[in-house]
């Protein structure tokens, strides 16, 4: 019976993150604008599409950056993607927002500025 057999120690994914990646990620958080965080999957693409449509309906011409680097995503504290970041603040994560949901978030954030 091997219930108490010593398990092999596996290397953590965090060991792949170097100091330069962390500094770059911290600088990105300070950047203004709209960011989609995710691996580039279908859900991420759908969120980006919803954001683009919402921006066009508000006649905003803002660039959208899609971040796929997991060390950068983690620097935002996001553990579930896709995520939407507005001016350095995570406003949604783990959900594909509809166009109306994005418009609602944009209208709240624009009033606060």
As annotated, the active-site residues are 41, 44
d(CA 100, CA 113): 20
42-57 vs 99-111: helix crossing angle, rounded to 10: 60
Element containing residue 93 per DSSP (H, E): strand 89-93
d(CA 37, CA 66): 6
| Cβ proximity of 33 and 87 under 8 Å | yes
Beta-strand relationship, 34-37 and 64-67: parallel
């Amino acid at each position: 019976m091997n219930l108490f057999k010593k398990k092999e120690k596996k290397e953590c994914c965090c060991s792949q993150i170097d100091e330069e990646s962390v500094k770059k990620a911290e600088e990105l958080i300070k950047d203004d604008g709209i960011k989609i965080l995710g691996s580039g999957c279908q859900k991420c693409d759908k969120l980006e599409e919803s954001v683009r449509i919402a921006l066009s309906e508000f006649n905003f011409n803002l660039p959208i950056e899609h971040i796929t680097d997991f060390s950068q995503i983690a620097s935002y504290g996001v553990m579930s993607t896709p995520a939407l970041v507005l001016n350095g603040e995570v406003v949604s994560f783990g959900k594909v927002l509809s166009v109306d949901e994005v418009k609602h978030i944009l209208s709240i954030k624009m009033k606060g500025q």
